[in-house]
Chains A and B, each alone.
Chain A
């Protein structure tokens, strides 16, 4: 294959959508932890509650700042007044928890009975004095991580439109802070400002654990790029200012609605870049942001090479092996691209939903990576059919299947190595620093099974189901 040859075009298909994934309301589990002064109210049925309670495991016991507004028969048949009911519950939440924002999560049921949450929210907000954000994170329209997308898209509307304080006041506030911080802050701030290149404000979007936020912010700082804000911030009251003409960049592949909302409603300019997953992705992400701001990236090549060198012991295990993504969290394209760069081949990437525009740069990088690594481009299957996929897995015999928990144990019992896909959603996988964590997850089944391989315990079911 010559370098001049155009990358092989990716092949997209769409199946029946009979696949297993988490309900998008699961986003409350990580968002309530991220946004510390929030309260998430899921307006749904016992089914929703049961899912959250079981999927979130022990987290439920840590006095979560989320609850169900459990709909009863009277709510469904409209014998009870939605507004009055919601008011009663929200006042109770206000009294017990006093949050800075209440996020209503609409579910399948509120969709079907057409409960006008968007209409009720502003009225109730005015009446009880707490902002209410409404997100329709339901299983009729969305899969798993897309739940976060609906919440962040709704939060875009609540971001301040312009910096609330004029320069003079800011000085004054700093003076107070100066007092509070015994004078350290001022010099730090002044010193820090000079480290940045002059560029238009950049706001990043996507919920990340705080250590990852710090890490990625620091990576950009090394290039002289200042992150003016992050959606979401640690607290609702700290949502970033978003003015017309600001630049925005996504850190996760499932945030297409948020991106669209930022562009259309707040007139921001979207930097379409691959996502900072894996050292290759992180470098491409930073380079793209640099190029938009006409900054010559410094030391990125060495940095990437150094990370790869430190990953070699894990990459060794993956090289020449194949990976199959059944698809459930929309991280699949980025993860596949990284694993192909590690020397794996990938026959199929299942994905719940494929936004070819939002993910364009990532898809291009995937095609390029396949070409450079000399492996065939994967088939990308949107709305996959798990049953068909299992038949294909039996045929292809991949070395690793990345799948949901519903299929993981049955596959392991049939001698197929699996990695539970949800772990990639909850682990820290972004930036140079966390590349090792991704591979730690991806190689774990291979390392475990290497340890056990002498025992002859691969197939632990008696007869293979005839298909």
Chain B
């Protein structure tokens, strides 16, 4: 047992559901107790989804515990097949169902006989994999399933596309700024004259998976999701893949040069140097920002970076290499892939922290006292408590990290967005600092003159105590309204009754 207050990566089934519901017309059925379908709430709220999340539960209740699921799971799969006509149903085990040790494989086989769509069982161990590992695994499983199916039918897309083309692998629902990154990568490929063959899983149809081998190469923008699939495609179809995240100016250039190399090896004869140069110096603002006096002021400032592998590694490099900021500590919660992280960042920071314990990171931040933090929502809250500004760079994230406006982290527009994020975090901290030195805003009194809370009314003890129970952010309003109510009625002492009467009167 482990005492835990918070976790960075979710349980395995969340990863499977993220992949399944990223595809078009794929339905996931969770073998889970009531209340485990919380994924639907997250997707509906965070992504502000207009459509129903294609995830339902085959509920494990007391009866299932006593007698086994028997026909229940099969019935639920067949029913969903009829109702929604999905191309694929993914039966998703949860931590509960994995200890029940029911033969879910058998259920899937039986359900397949009566279903028009395909049915598979997500092959994920709940006690060994987390959300990210499970997502990586499930994507690979679905891709393999359809490529093998196509191979049997002889339907695998023949040969390569005429022009150089790419599969972008790993863009998924509930991923940090994934939607915007997907769009930015498409633009980037378009600029380079590379056709986008398929983007998976987000928005993809399983029917198109058989076309994957037609692309000239695969691009895996995120370290966490897509690598297993890319390796499978390399092994089976001899497709090269590129796993350099194009995040930051230098890394984007590195990614493009690698693409150039991969394409030229297949006879494309492309040269992206001029494009890279032009983008770096004149189009993207990030290189110019690094040179400007704004950024000069950031030189040597201390920062702490924490997040998933992709974003924490890329941010560390950007801060240290492109902006001259002193990254005291860089860390990741992707413990299972820690070696990669260490190798990526070791020359760009003083210390490396690999941990899933938010307390440990909080303590490290408090000890280091950086001028800014780049982390997850958890680090943002640590920052709030310590009065250190924080830019959010990785999941876990809240609704404000699903912006409506265009905010990629990848590609050249991504470099602009990151520059803003970094600069805003630091200047806010600076502003705060100056305010403290000069004793706060000198305009405070003027602003508050009109809405002074001073009053001639007497609050009795109970009422005062009651008022103090009102949450801080509305207390002032309750106080003013109650006093207004009392004044209008010529009441001089405010009691509990007066408070309630004020609340009951319209408009209070």
Contact = CB atoms under 8 A, between A and B. Distances in A.
A45 B95 contact: yes
Interface stretch (A4-12, A17-25, A119-127, A370-378): A17-25
B105 interface: no
B65 A72 contact: no
Contact of A53 (B6, B51, B381): B6
B394 to A, nearest CB: 16
Interface in B145-180: none
A164 interface: no
Contacts of A265: none
A32 to B, nearest CB: 12
A56 to B, nearest CB: 11
A276 to B, nearest CB: 14
A185 to B, nearest CB: 11
Given A22-B35, A72-B127, A405 B60 contact: no
B83 interface: yes
A266 interface: no
Q: Tell me what chain B mostly uses at the interface: helix, strand, loop, or mixed.
A: mixed
Interface in A43-86: 43, 45-47, 49-51, 53-55, 57-58, 60-61, 64, 67-73, 75-76, 80, 85-86
B56 A18 contact: yes
Interface string B35-76: 111101110110011111100110111100100000000001
B36 A211 contact: no
Contacts, number: 185
A148 to B, nearest CB: 14
Nearest to A63: B5
Contact of B65 (A140, A142, A465): A140
A396 interface: no
A407 interface: yes
B121 interface: no
A290 interface: no
Given A211-B470, A467-B83, A409 B5 contact: no
A410 interface: yes
Contact of B60 (A108, A215, A387): A108
Contacts of B49: 409-410
Interface residues of A, number: 78
Contacts of A345: none
Contacts of A111: 65
A20 B60 contact: no
A141 B504 CA distance: 39
A61 B381 contact: yes
Contact of A410 (B6, B14, B52): B52
A139 B35 contact: yes
Given A18-B59, A21-B35, A69-B1, A409 B10 contact: no
A175 interface: no
Given A45-B11, A89-B3, A406 B99 contact: no
B100 A112 contact: yes
Interface string B1-41: 11111110011011000000000000000001111111011
A67 to B, nearest CB: 5
Contact of B469 (A45, A57, A210): A210
Interface string A122-143: 0000000000000000111111
Nearest to A23: B35
Interface in A292-332: 306-307, 310, 313
Given A23-B36, A406-B41, A413-B51, A141 B10 contact: no
A89 B5 CA distance: 12
A72 B466 CA distance: 45
A113 interface: yes
A333 to B, nearest CB: 20
B3 A68 contact: yes
A230 interface: no
B475 to A, nearest CB: 12
B269 interface: no
Contacts of B44: 405-410
Given A140-B61, A214-B466, A109 B99 contact: yes
B500 interface: yes
Interface string A402-433: 00111111100100000000000000000011
A460 B51 CA distance: 10
A186 B496 CA distance: 20
B96 interface: yes
A92 interface: yes
A204 B109 CA distance: 54
A144 interface: yes
B60 A73 contact: no
A176 interface: no
A461 interface: yes
B477 interface: no
Contacts of A288: none
Given A409-B50, A413-B50, A218 B497 contact: yes
B5 A67 contact: yes
A410 to B, nearest CB: 5
B3 A92 contact: yes
B45 A405 contact: yes
Interface string A263-295: 000000000000000000000000000000000
A407 to B, nearest CB: 7
Contacts of A53: 6-7, 396
A47 B99 contact: no
Contacts of B503: 433, 436
Nearest to B497: A218
A139 B38 contact: no
B61 A433 contact: no
A410 B51 contact: yes
Contacts of B496: 214, 218
B4 A109 contact: no
B505 interface: yes
A309 B50 CA distance: 39
A444 interface: no
B128 interface: yes
A387 B56 contact: yes
A24 B34 CA distance: 9
A80 B50 contact: no
Nearest to A44: B95
A140 B33 contact: yes
A76 B13 CA distance: 18
A64 to B, nearest CB: 7
Residue from the set A50, A72, A144, A211 with the largest chain B CB neighbour count within 10 Å: A50
B34 A17 contact: yes
Interface in A82-129: 85-86, 88-89, 92-93, 108-109, 111-113
Interface in B282-326: none
A50 B470 CA distance: 29
A211 B62 contact: no
B1 A85 contact: yes
Nearest to A222: B497
B94 interface: yes
Contacts of B37: 20, 406
A413 B57 CA distance: 23
B506 interface: yes
B38 A23 contact: yes
A455 B160 CA distance: 49
B36 A139 contact: yes
Given A85-B1, A218-B500, A310 B506 contact: yes
A72 B4 CA distance: 12
12 contacts: A17-B59, A22-B35, A50-B14, A108-B60, A140-B61, A144-B35, A214-B462, A218-B496, A307-B504, A310-B506, A407-B44, A410-B51
- For the complex of A and B, 5 pairs with smallest distance between CB atoms: A23-B35, A139-B33, A406-B40, A413-B50, A46-B11
Given A215-B500, A387-B56, A467-B83, 4 more contacts: A51-B38, A73-B128, A140-B65, A214-B462
Interface of B: 1-7, 10-11, 13-14, 32-38, 40-42, 44-45, 48-53, 56-57, 59-62, 65, 76, 83-84, 94-96, 99-100, 126-128, 130, 378, 381, 396, 398, 462, 466, 469-470, 496-497, 500, 503-506
